[in-house]
Amino acid sequence: MNIALDDKKERLLKRLREQGIKDEDVLDVIAEIPREEFIAPFLRAQAYENAALPIESEQTISQPFVVAYMTQELRLEKTHKVLEIGTGSGYQAAILSKLCRRLFTVERHLPLYESATALFKKLRLYNITTLFGNGMRGWKEQQPFDRIMVTAAGEEIPDDLLYQLKDGGIMVIPVGAQDETQHIVRITRTGDDFDVKTLLPVKFVPLLSGIVHSSE
């Protein structure tokens, strides 16, 4: 890490605190994971700006504040088995993996799935397991999960995901159509009851079904 990048990281952490991120474990992990590894070389000078950035397949790596906020709202424990839908660059998965026991992540774009899988190996994030597929169906063989995070906006909350949560489990997901204001929503399962709490307004790429084999 060079000094310029270190300075920018310090500034970002200060900004996240100002924006209300209080969970010290989340802030420590943001400090630990090298965001520059998850973006294209020409964007690396912007790695610690509090902004979303473009990645392959016309997708985006979320703004650090949104990553920190959603992670904080998930209320992770070290013992948890967690599912993420929308691997993308792999950055959010890397953050989650440091705060739980095992992290499973699903991506529907093959090039993104492949590059994130290689990056997890390079960064020695051995508790992450990746899958190329449609995450709206969750991950049947690995369910149930203590926590689920979805990083693409669904017009509705997929039922399959709700029922792959453990009793007492929590899901954090952006909800809303592309042409309306989306909100991060936190859902807590108690038996077959799902308590839904609407949190921040956000802008996410869409949660789509089907799989895509190329970047065209």
Which residues are near ligand SAH by CB under 6 A? Answer: 59-62, 85-86, 88-89, 91-92, 106-109, 112, 134-136, 151-152, 205, 207-209
Query: In this complex, which beta carbon is closest to ligand SAH, that of residue 84 or of residue 146?
Result: 84
For every residue of 9-52, DSSP letters joined together read HHHHHHHHHHTT---HHHHHHHHHS-GGGGS-GGGGGGTTSSS-
Query: In this complex, which beta carbon is closest to ligand SAH, that of residue 7 or of residue 110?
Result: 110
Indicate which residue of 62, 89, 97, 115 is catalytic. 62
Minimum CB separation of residue 200 from ligand SAH in Å reads 16
Minimum CB separation of residue 110 from ligand SAH in Å reads 10
Query: In this complex, which beta carbon is closest to ligand SAH, that of residue 199 or of residue 211?
Result: 211
Minimum CB separation of residue 128 from ligand SAH in Å reads 12
Please give the residue whose beta carbon sits closest to ligand SAH in the complex. Answer: 88
* Identity at 169, one-letter amino acid code: G
Using DSSP bridges, classify how beta strands 53-54 and 102-107 pair: parallel, antiparallel or unpaired: unpaired
For 136-171, give the secondary structure using H, E and C: HHCCCCCCCEEEEEECCEECCCCHHHHCCEEEEEEE
Q: What is the C-alpha separation between 104 and 129, in angstroms, rounded?
A: 5
Query: In this complex, which beta carbon is closest to ligand SAH, that of residue 62 or of residue 72?
Result: 62
2: CB partners within 8 A, 6+ apart: none
Half-sphere exposure of 76 (CA within 13 A, CB side): 29
Minimum CB separation of residue 153 from ligand SAH in Å reads 9
Q: Is 62 a catalytic residue?
A: yes
Q: Which residues are identified as catalytic?
A: 62
